[in-house]
Homo-oligomer: A and B are copies of this chain.
Amino acid sequence: MKPAVTKAILKKCDSVSRLLKSLSHPVRLKVLCSLMEKERGVNELTEFCGISQSAMSQFLARMKAEGLLESRRERNHVYYRVADQKVSRLLSAIREIYC
């Protein structure tokens, strides 16, 4: 492998692997998949994934902190949506290959 090319790949791999780690949990992946079409409320996501409210809240907080999700509040409900265009593209590719 040419050293010049090599170095660039190594760096990219570090950042990309961090992103993939975020997608690599079943709940986080389910959340992202279900948000592909449209934004959804915490309640809906929680039911969909079949986990506790607390757990979901933690997942959502983490994904938001990582820049994967954005949220907005409406009355006493919070709605989440996918924040990153590239992540959407990646999810589409995954769907195409595996679904």
Interface size on A, residues (CB 8 A): 34
Given contacts A86-B97, A97-B89, whether A20 and B24 have CB atoms under 8 Å apart is yes
Q: What mask results when residues 59 to 95 of chain A are scored 1 for a CB within 8 Å of chain B, else 0?
A: 0000000000000000000000000001001100110
User: Inside 8 A of A86's CB, which chain B residues have their CB?
Assistant: 97-98
Report copies per complex.
Answer: 2
Is A9 interfacial (CB-CB < 8 Å)?
yes
B contact residues around A20 at 8 Å (CB): 20, 23-24, 29
Cα separation A1 to B12 with both chains bound (whole Å): 36
CA A98 to CA B9, docked complex, whole Å: 10
Select which of B1, B19, B89, B93 is within 8 A of A48 by beta carbon.
B1
